[in-house]
Structure 1
Amino acid sequence: MKKILQYAFCLLLTGCFIVKTQAQQVIPKDSVIQLFGVVMTADSLRAIPAASILVQGAGRGTLTNDQGVFSIAVLQGQKIRFSCVGFKDVVINIPDKVVDNQYYVIQLLVSDTAYLPATILKPRPSREQFERDFANTRIPNDQYEIARQNIDEAKRRVLLATLPADGREAVNAQLRQQASKLYYQGQQPPINILNPAAWSEFIKAWKRGDFKSKNDD
């Protein structure tokens, strides 16, 4: 009987310890607060968009909107880090006792200037040295092949017939394509195989040798 009472007493102590441990792990509702505010520059008081608000030790955070406004749920006593590219980081502490479970802050960030090492640009001392360096520049073999293809006469004719000459012509070609697409919207566009103008362009290209094979050379 005595052993049974001792065993029951040990179980009771163990249960009390487990309940106490679980109670300590539960976060009280009063400790959760809503942190909100605005992040601005310290010199001109302008809103900083896309600034990071990170809860240290929690692995979570948020970003400010276009007006620099943010809102995030945190715990009392936590540390909040404000950071943004081009500004110095700022860390604040949430008070242990906050009224109405809300905390408002206007955080000012100071600009952080990054000084890069000086770069000095110097011209070529002479034309002879430029020609020497240009002639000794090593070019991969595939670049030679691309250059050889670009100077091919048949390819240059095809590019001349297909590519626009300048920006204005490119815009006009795009507008003509859009107009043609909208004109034939909801119906079958015409087939160029029955178009005399298309046949005329094909015959001219064939006579110029645009479709001539390289092996025939």
Structure 2
Amino acid sequence: MKNWGICILIFFGIWVNAYGQEQTERKLVQFSGFILNADSNITVPYVTLTNHSYQEQIFNANHQGFFSFVAHEGDTIRLSAVGYLSETLVVPKSADNSVTVKVSMKSHIIDLPVVTIYPWASIDEFNYDFMNLKIADDDYLIAQKNLSTESLMAMARDVPRNAAEIQNMDAVNRHIGLSNKVTNQRHSNALFSPLAWANFINQISQGNKSRKK
């Protein structure tokens, strides 16, 4: 058991030494860039960048989609943001100590299932409303109620008249007024009525006959 433990420690030390030597040999660069929407070229803010090649270091882009941090050449960087597909890129080699890139991220569109919202908070409330349900009238009964005398009188009282209806009512009232005026003039002026003259002469002749008797 002791030999196995010693072997594991030796291999672990060799691995750590090799990993550290590899990280030391790789060049450090200032890795910067902008993150844009692939469809609209609008900046994607607050993207999370994770360096999978070096201790899972996490960095964040600002509200303008800009990021800048120190990384090794060849590091694998994973970009993730809400509403976008994750992207992975590798830090390229550079002649100087800085690398600037432009990254495009695609929108992640998810089709959600249809959700029907009901006005009942629980099954008990649904059962209560269902048991006390009032069946609505059909179209024929609704039309009868709308055309009833009470309904029509209420609508005539509450609904204002439009311009055409007011004009027609005014014309009808004027016509009735003129007709009544002409009729009253004909009946009130008996001098121009032949029937009135005949009745007057008849009354005179009837009076003369009664006096002779």
The structure with more radius of gyration: 2
TM-score normalised by L of structure 1: 0.44
